[in-house]
Structure 1
Amino acid sequence: MHSRMDWRSVTFDWNRARAFLVTAEEGSLSAAARALGMTQPTLGRQVTALEEELGLILFERVGRGLVLTQAGTQLMSHVRAMGEAAVGVSLAASGQAQAASGHVAVTASEIYSSWLLPQIALRLRKVAPGITLEVVASNEIRDLKRREADIAIRNARPEEPDLIAKMVGEDEGAFYATPDYLSRLGPVIDPADLAGAEFIGFKDNDNFIAALQRRGIAVTPAHFPVLASSHAVHWEMARAGVAIGTAPCGLGETTPDMRRVLPDLGFRFPVWLVAHRELRTSPRVRIVWELLAEMLPALLRRPE
């Protein structure tokens, strides 16, 4: 491969560029493939095809990960800007976003509704100001067939045949607490050190206790001084220093007053967009769907 390219001869493929962008941000092909919901070989072929197309080596392998070359670093800023612009291009092509109007209801968990959807709403106001967005914040599974919502953000693929679904990424959750609480608790090196800890629980706490026990944390109902039916309340209790709470890593690690407990102990789960099949014939619903599909992978990504 040579080190210079003739931009006049380049026919740029956005799918390859997106593969490069996510691989660079995730640091490995396997993590990028999970984020994009595709197989690792397919993603690897797209990255290789982009390198061949541009005549550049974009990555070097270091251990099990990938790091950008100088050429890759230079390309990164341009491709990231393309990614931001792609949201607007995609929406404009999907039904005249600026002219679209009407009501669209999106249901998501309370924590996603309060953490992620404000950023989606802000972008929607810019690209499709005629659309009214209703956020149905609930941890219950809403029935899309009965139009309790137009689009759902779920952590499991739906089985209903009348629904369509797209996996937009993977999220990771972990345990968090305030520095003051951790100082009172003492050193935590492995799950056994949490035997004397207290946790914020949930309404259906038996399943949570069983999940913690499977992770080697020997808890009983006595370890839960507070139960919350709302995950948003759960998180605020943890932020107040009451006990250890759980949250998505993207939220927990951007909250200044919280610290992750046992960095190697986490849990991953898929994130799906779900809608009724009429999505294909409803411009306003499709606009919101495409905006979610474009923005959620980056919003969910754990900060470095």
Structure 2
Amino acid sequence: MRAFLVTAEEGSLSAAARALNSSQPTLGRQVSALEDELGLALFERIGTKLTLTPGGLELIQHARAMCDAATRASLTASGQSQSLEGTVCISVGEIFAGHVLPPIIEKLRMQEPGIEIEIVASNSSSDLRRREADIGFRALKPTQPDLIAKKVCDLTSRFYASSGYLEKIGYPQTMEDLCRADFIDFDDTGVYRKYLNDLGFNLTPRNFPVRAESHFLQWELAKSGVGIVTALEMIGDAEPAMERALSDFMLVHSMWLVAHRELKTSRRIKMVFDFLYREFKAICVSC
């Protein structure tokens, strides 16, 4: 049933297989077995996409309810565990994970050697409700009622570029000067450009000639003189090869530590949650 649900959500067996960390043939066999058992065709193929048949549409809500119930049962079981041994999965943005998290994890491992840590370093938010991660570090307060969020601090981000690039464009002093520079974008949706223009810039698509989803790659591109990138002040100011592109301009955003409500009753998860909160809080205070 879960194979059916994820295939319906992803639109293809290959995408569903990646989401479930399975193989496409295995997933195909599971969906076919469900169709045989029910005596019902669940999908029809249109081009490269799978779409639900009328029978599949009727079944999808029941499948989702079953999977949600199974997830809740798993969460309850995890919440009842009082052991300080086991795995805790932490979801955090990749550049923050690479620059800030390692010494914190080293300290945690020394304090609690029975706890294994899995880190999802990604700019996409893991779904805590579906157990893609146990604890998440977020730039926005979640609105879902079954998540618990604790504000850690306010962090400051700024524009950074290599000294060579800033010298080449004449060390911009105003927002208007910066509108003649190249920025490194995340994707081709224009969301980042709109965000900056809402803050008073007048940027066009020509200001974003290079795109990279990876923050690490963005940072390395900027260090090589490709353009301007946004980064946390605590990371940007510590890099000798980089300078602030507009020293008096900054972006302030709140940072939240998030966990599922039922997971907070687990001694293991609660211990890691509280430990991360203290360590992140100390970093923010020192900055």
Residue 117 (structure 1) aligned to one of 101, 109, 129: 101
Give the counterpart letter for 1:271 in structure 2: M
User: In the alignment, which residue of structure 1 is the partner of 2:231?
Assistant: 247
* Residues 254/292 of structure 1: CA separation in 2 closer, same or farther (3 Å cut): same
User: In the alignment, which residue of structure 1 is the partner of 2:207?
Assistant: 223
Does residue 1:262 correspond to 2:246, yes or no? yes
* Residues 214/301 of structure 1: CA separation in 2 closer, same or farther (3 Å cut): farther
User: In the alignment, which residue of structure 1 is the partner of 2:14?
Assistant: none
Matches within 5 A, 1:161-180: 161-180=145-164
Q: 1:191–1:215: 8 Å Cα contact kept in structure 2?
A: no
Q: 2:187–2:211: 8 Å Cα contact kept in structure 1?
A: yes
User: In the alignment, which residue of structure 2 is the partner of 1:131?
Assistant: 115
Taking structure 1 as the reference length, the TM-score comes to 0.64
Distance 1:278 1:124 in 2: 22
What SS class does the counterpart of residue 128 from structure 2 fall into? coil
User: In the alignment, which residue of structure 2 is the partner of 1:284?
Assistant: 268
Give the counterpart letter for 2:118 in structure 1: E
Taking structure 2 as the reference length, the TM-score comes to 0.68
Give the counterpart letter for 2:279 in structure 1: M
User: In the alignment, which residue of structure 2 is the partner of 1:192?
Assistant: 176
Q: 1:171–1:301: 8 Å Cα contact kept in structure 2?
A: no
Structure 1 unmatched runs, 5+ = 1-96
Distance 1:299 1:187 in 2: 30
Shift of 1:297: 2.1
Q: 2:171–2:245: 8 Å Cα contact kept in structure 1?
A: no
Give the counterpart letter for 1:176 in structure 2: Y
Q: 1:189–1:262: 8 Å Cα contact kept in structure 2?
A: yes
Moved over 4 A (4+): none
Give the counterpart letter for 1:229 in structure 2: E
Shift of 1:280: 3.3
Q: 1:175–1:246: 8 Å Cα contact kept in structure 2?
A: yes
User: In the alignment, which residue of structure 1 is the partner of 2:131?
Assistant: 147
Shift of 1:257: 0.7
Instruction: Give CA deviations for 1:106-158 in whole Å, capped at 9, x if unaligned.
Output: 00111222122212211111111111110011222211111110001111111
Which protein shows a greater Rg? 2
Structure 2 unmatched runs, 5+ = 1-81
Shift of 1:229: 1.1
Q: 1:120–1:291: 8 Å Cα contact kept in structure 2?
A: no
What SS class does the counterpart of residue 263 from structure 1 fall into? coil
Give the counterpart letter for 2:262 in structure 1: E
Distance 2:255 2:190 in 1: 24
Q: Out of 271-280 and 171-180, give the one that drifted further.
A: 271-280
